[in-house]
Structure 1
Amino acid sequence: MIQSTWEEQRVIKDVMVFLQGHGVSTTYAVKIFKQYGHESILIVTDNPYKLAEDIFGIGFHTADKIAFKVGVSPWSKYRYKSGLLHILSEAAEDGHCFLPLPELVNSAIELLRVDVQEADEETLELLRVDEHQIDGEAVVKTAQEMTETEDLIVEQVGKMLLCYKPTFYYTEENLAKLLLKQLENPINIDLPRVKDWIQRYTQSKRIKLSPQQLEAVIKAASSRVMVLTGGPGTGKTFTQKTIVALWQAMGKKIGLAAPTGRAAQRLGEMAGLEAKTLHRLLEFDPAKRGFKRDKDNPLPFDAVIVDESSMVDLFLAHSLLKAISPTCQLLLVGDNDQLPSVGPGKILEDLIESGKIPVVTLNQVFRQAASSAIIRNAHQINQGHYPKLEVISYTPKSDCLWHDGGTEPEHTVQVISELVTEFIPELGFDPTIDVQVLCPMTRGLVGTRNLNQVLQQLLNPPSPEKSRSF
């Protein structure tokens, strides 16, 4: 017993000394040993790029540095393979599920060349011997070999070869199958009765539906899956409220959700029912990094509305469809002209263009909404016209003000900081509850990651009095 324990501790020490001697931090060394145990040294010396696949927090760049330290060739197929997968991961952060083969290969060559140039002196000396630092043909060959082992999925669309990570390809494929299966279950309704209810409801509420809104309400009653889309001010919220009332009259149990907390709050206020973020609706489990609701534990609803669905990415849409029972109805509401999801995929746009899902598009801008400069400008942009913008001032005449943000990313960060701490409070708004900052990327100074940190420091800085529990 004592001897085996001592032997175990000796192995751990040997692994830790080896890893730290090759530039691996203590934190990563512990993770590596927990993953591979006694085989840690063998795996790191043979294929350190496996770390990027197996260990959370270790990406291509970290694995690349370790590889150079342990003497792995810069022309290793392991390196080429890891570089190709890294490019696809970076593309996913920009919202792409795939890349065309030429773009993937060219980006990988550039990535591998840049990282080689940042190698240590010994590697640099080795590179000077060879004129061709990165062999493009070898990268292409590696991609071909990866398709044979299904580490890469290549799909031909027309004359283009599209490259997917397997998880993206099969998730997209399965999402399509789930949607088609849902559509196989038609809904039979008493149409005259539905129309009679709509007439009585609108008369009692003293409201009038536009022809498009009426079409949307009727289709929502009879469609297993449906998309309701339209620009700002076209009555999507008003139409949803009528659909909820109809479904309630039909005795349906309704679930409401949206990708963000703010959108869910607005949806709940509109419908007079509890609305949740999609992660709360699907019951995200941090320990398992997955959802409790799935095909074996479906959502307990007869109908589900998802607002702001243009923000739903591939994996969230897939999780939602897995958690919906075959008899449940799904209404996706959103503006296809808004920014797509931060995550990979453009689900709402693809569903609209598929021709398989019933779609109702609202395009009539109502008079009350037309008084908003934000809405008028949004429609001007959609129609290809330059918007009429009011320069920012402390005496605004409209609800849409323009600030050029400066010429550099640093200027934009400074402008946003000044707006939320000075300008907006001066106009009588509370920046902690009345402000939403939208940006089209996650990385960079003006990406969500950095802006979240900047705004938290300005509006909700950490302090010893605040709880840090999750």
Structure 2
Amino acid sequence: MTKAKAKNRKSRASAPAPDVAQGVQSDFQHMTLDPALMTVIHSELFTDLDRQFALFMARLAGTNRSELVLAAALLSRARAEGHTCLDLTVVAGKLFPTPKPENVEAVLCPTIDSWTNELRATNVVGSPGEFKPLILDRAGRLYLHRYWECEHTLATEIKRRASAVASGPSETALAAVLDRFFPIPSATGDDSGPDWQRAAARVAVQRQFCVISGGPGTGKTWTLVRILALLLELAGQQPIQIAVAAPTGKAAARVQEEIRKAKLQLACSDAIKAQLPERATTIHRLLGANRDATSFRFNRANPLPFDLVAIDEAGMVDLALMARLVDALAPNAKLILLGDKDQLASVEPGAVLGDICAGVAERAINSVRKEPGASGACIEPATTQPPLAGCIVQLQKNYRFGPDSQIYRLSCAINAGNAPDALKILREQKRLNDSGVTWTQLPGLGELKTVLRQTLLTGFADYFGAQTPADALNALAKFRVLCALRDGPYGVIHINRLAEQVFQEAGLVTLTGPFYVHRPIMITRNDYNLQLFNGDTGAILLSRGNVDSSDTVAGAKSEPSGAVGRPQDARNATGPQPGVLAAPGAAAPEGVMHRLIVPAGEAGVRAFFASADGGAR
């Protein structure tokens, strides 16, 4: 399981301490390595972690073979870029690096047969199933043992669940319930094609494993709520224990609010609505993460007490966490994954949702047949296609934008990598007054702060004027600055600094240090001692409660429930790192206006996406 997600290695390879760098170089000098390989290993292509890992593997193996050193360094590098393994067949017999940076002499990697034979001859490389630090499979993929085990566990469990057929109602009973929750096209007057939401509901009823993929506006959460109500109704007097979770606190809060809204529109009894889950949680909280974050309370020996687990934003879940999740499910529990297979992969190694969907042909994902009486569409029986394909439904109709919407057309062009069409759509906006897409010239670096000043002051005016933590958090949730990059003049870090300068010049903040009053915070890594999790957002505010000093600074946290959590003393929040005001790829609640700054070539474009209801898309 690999993913093509490039990262800025310069930011990852921060300048090492001189003594560390010298120590690593000294260790390598005691090894008999090809001079060209030594130059590559010590170049900026690799970090100290990559080099130390290669040294560690060589010491464990008791050898200084260049084949092992190069493979171990490349594997560590691949892991940092988000891959779960190193595919030796991709680099074997070729020059590395390609293209070649200045002052670095490329080395010729061994042929695949020679390389794999040399690696298997060491005592640190084993075959699948062996307990060795590195695992090399027959396809020439080299893994850290942990990731091979996670991938093997996940693949085995998904295949088992995909092949299992859940016991369910008769076809007549199922069709009657589907007709009520998902009216047939002839009843709604909309005969534009198969009802993929109805197809997803059928799969969720008949299978233990279901994947519902679709872009923004295709109704994934809307479909999930109806699936849950449908299953509760079919269960009758047998209660179903349901859990809904997401990778981050922000995503959990969003799906929780969407479930509350969708419940009001359900065509079912109040008794069924009352059984629908009221809260969504993070996957870490669901699994009962221990304080040390190294283990979970729920696992194979102590499975989760739920009959159905639904995971929203599944594309954000990395390999290791997804493996822990499926390992903790009860044997007969249903698992429903919702997400967009085309979105960016998770931050940590593994692109689970994308790889699950890529494991079967697109044709198989979207293969449908008409039910008797043309009452909607459903997935073909598993006997005509791979079992996994019968578990995946791709929602295709967008209910947020029509097919002629420029926002919809632009998003489709970008998703397909069609740059000419995307630029054509952007140019068309010049003659359309209500296109929903605006293209303006990206300002130069010297003008950037001036251009952003009024937008920032207007967008955050309510936040700075808030009188209570609750008002501050609500105001903060209504405006975001999104950046496509983290580094560089148009990236998160620099835009944050510009925003701080604008606010200080306006007298809104005083930059007394990293934890100044009114600084927005996004938690970027889990801290189980403080019960703060990746994606939680908050603000550093003056505490007006019963405290020792009137100028104590505290951070107010936004809980998934939407309430304001107990203020945390920012001076004690040593685990989580101060987050960002401008977050790459961050999602926003309804009614939030986004500004997306995207460098494109020398000039670049700044696109503003605004829907008819004022939400940002």
Q: TM-score range by the shorter chain?
A: 0.5 to 0.7
* RMSD after superposition: 4.9
Q: Choose 458-467 or 345-354, whichever is displaced more.
A: 458-467
User: 2:349, 2:198 → 1: CA distance?
Assistant: 34
* Aligned equivalent of 2:36: none
Query: 1:329 offset after TM fit, Å?
Result: 0.5
Query: 1:455 offset after TM fit, Å?
Result: 9.5
* Aligned equivalent of 1:255: 243
Is the aligned partner of 1:199 residue 2:188? no
* Residues 152 and 439 of structure 1, relative CA distance in 2, 3 Å threshold: farther
User: 1:418, 1:280 → 2: CA distance?
Assistant: 43
Contact 1:80 1:139 in 2 (8 A): no
Determine what percentage of the aligned residue pairs are the same residue: 24
Match among 399, 421, 439 for residue 386 of structure 1: 421
Contact 1:391 1:403 in 2 (8 A): no
User: 2:453, 2:295 → 1: CA distance?
Assistant: 37
Q: Deviations over 1:355-376 (max 9, x none)?
A: 4321112212236566865434
* Residues 328 and 110 of structure 1, relative CA distance in 2, 3 Å threshold: same
Alignment of 1:28-427 (within 5 A): 59-61=49-51, 77=64, 81-101=68-88, 103-104=90-91, 144-148=117-121, 149=123, 150=125, 151-157=133-139, 161-183=140-162, 185-191=164-170, 192-201=172-181, 211-249=195-233, 250=235, 251-272=239-260, 273-352=278-357, 353-354=359-360, 355-357=386-388, 358-366=391-399, 373-382=406-415, 384=418, 386-387=421-422, 388-389=425-426, 399-402=436-439, 422-426=454-458
User: 1:275, 1:398 → 2: CA distance?
Assistant: 36
* Residues 178 and 326 of structure 1, relative CA distance in 2, 3 Å threshold: same
Q: What is the SS of the residue equivalent to 1:87?
A: helix
Unaligned runs of 5+ in 1: 1-21, 30-41, 48-56, 119-131
User: 1:45, 1:322 → 2: CA distance?
Assistant: 44
* Residues 308 and 465 of structure 1, relative CA distance in 2, 3 Å threshold: same
* Aligned equivalent of 1:121: none
* Residues 392 and 182 of structure 1, relative CA distance in 2, 3 Å threshold: same
Contact 2:299 2:329 in 1 (8 A): yes
Q: Tell me the TM-score normalised to structure 2 length.
A: 0.52
* Residues 46 and 163 of structure 1, relative CA distance in 2, 3 Å threshold: closer
Contact 1:310 1:338 in 2 (8 A): yes
* Residues 62 and 190 of structure 1, relative CA distance in 2, 3 Å threshold: closer
Q: Tell me the TM-score normalised to structure 1 length.
A: 0.66
User: 1:419, 1:94 → 2: CA distance?
Assistant: 34
For 2:242, the aligned partner's letter is I
User: 1:183, 1:446 → 2: CA distance?
Assistant: 47
Q: What is the SS of the residue equivalent to 1:285?
A: coil
- How many residue pairs get aligned? The number is 392
User: 2:421, 2:95 → 1: CA distance?
Assistant: 38
User: 2:435, 2:213 → 1: CA distance?
Assistant: 26
User: 1:359, 1:432 → 2: CA distance?
Assistant: 37
* Residues 197 and 350 of structure 1, relative CA distance in 2, 3 Å threshold: same
Query: 1:166 offset after TM fit, Å?
Result: 2.9
Contact 1:60 1:83 in 2 (8 A): no
More helix by share: 1
Contact 2:95 2:107 in 1 (8 A): no
User: 2:313, 2:218 → 1: CA distance?
Assistant: 14
Contact 2:50 2:77 in 1 (8 A): no
Q: What is the SS of the residue equivalent to 2:335?
A: strand
